[in-house]
Homo-oligomer: A and B are copies of this chain.
Amino acid sequence: MRTDKDNVLKVGIVQHSFLSDVETNRTRNVSAIANLAAEGAKLIVLSELHDSLYFCQTENVDNFDLASELPGDFTDFYGAAAADNGVVVVASAFERRAPGLYHNTAVVFEADGSIAGMYRKMHIPDDPGFYEKFYFTPGDLGFNPIETSVGRLGVLVCWDQWYPEAARLMAMAGVEVLVYPTAIGWNPDDTADEKERQRMAWITIQRSHAVANGLPVVSVNRCGFEEDPSEQTSGIDFWGSSFVAGPQGELLYEAPEDRPDEACVEINLARSENVRRWWPFLRDRRIDAYGDILRRFRN
């Protein structure tokens, strides 16, 4: 168990909108990292694919030019940002692993700029406006924690957030914080009611991972409207709403839906142990009866 001194972790969340110009996005991201580090953040989380527009709105082979080899220019850049500010950074890369083989990969940098670990997005969505199966091969690194100086992180990415299995596997590996870089938004043509059902479902499922596992959750989304270059859809209105929840799913911070936000939020890592003593869900799992979880469907 942590000592009192180590218990409070200040987390910086960077909810930005992005432009097509990668250099501008990077400059703004580094500026946010510096701002939040100056506020005392020790762990800073960027949103998914924060170096570019959300290019998955169309299937276009030219977009593979946006990918980066890891390690390479991407890790040099964000590693330097972590080191310059002495903070752990969760960044999100479009990984070029080989010609014709790409991943959606979170990279965690230690406060000295070294790579603490990587997580390749395991669940890949595909629906109109989110053609990720065209771009990303599903991850092959499994659901494994990344050890850092601020704690053992369970980094998952966007579509992973809908899967209780992913959060559970991270909790079972002893993670102390669940972290979700994400890029999710509305179809502008949907009704206000439908939009709110979707946004609330997204918040609810991630808060539930905190509840089920007695762990804090940090979820960082982008915001702003991005048009569909193919003009087949009305584009995506990214809904922001980044948040931090404590280990009972209680909301510690909620960012606005409609504009950029940078916030430094305190989480108490010792509280997880207390909550798990009160509600010891891990004690009572019926692992003797869960076998069919590994099937596609029970028919």
Contact = CB atoms under 8 A, between A and B. Distances in A.
Interface stretch (A15-23, A33-41, A100-108, A117-125): A117-125
Interface string A283-299: 01111011111111111
A81 to B, nearest CB: 31
Interface in A163-206: 163-166, 168-169, 172-174, 197-198, 200-201, 204-205
A266 to B, nearest CB: 16
Given A200-B250, A212-B205, A249-B200, A285 B165 contact: yes
A127 B278 contact: yes
B164 A208 contact: yes
Interface string A206-217: 011101100000
Contacts of A280: 127
Interface residues on A, range: 35 or more
A165 B290 contact: yes
A77 interface: no
Interface in A256-299: 278-282, 284-287, 289-299
A244 to B, nearest CB: 15
B163 A293 contact: no
A151 interface: no
Report the 7 A-B pairs with minimum CB-CB distance, sorted nearest first. A208-B208, A164-B164, A173-B298, A172-B298, A197-B248, A201-B211, A205-B211
21 contacts: A127-B279, A127-B280, A143-B292, A159-B284, A162-B212, A163-B286, A164-B165, A164-B208, A164-B212, A165-B285, A165-B286, A165-B293, A172-B293, A174-B299, A197-B250, A200-B249, A204-B211, A204-B249, A208-B208, A208-B212, A282-B297
Given A197-B250, A198-B248, 19 more contacts: A159-B284, A162-B211, A162-B279, A163-B281, A164-B164, A164-B165, A165-B285, A165-B290, A168-B293, A169-B290, A172-B298, A173-B299, A197-B246, A204-B249, A205-B208, A208-B211, A285-B296, A287-B293, A290-B294
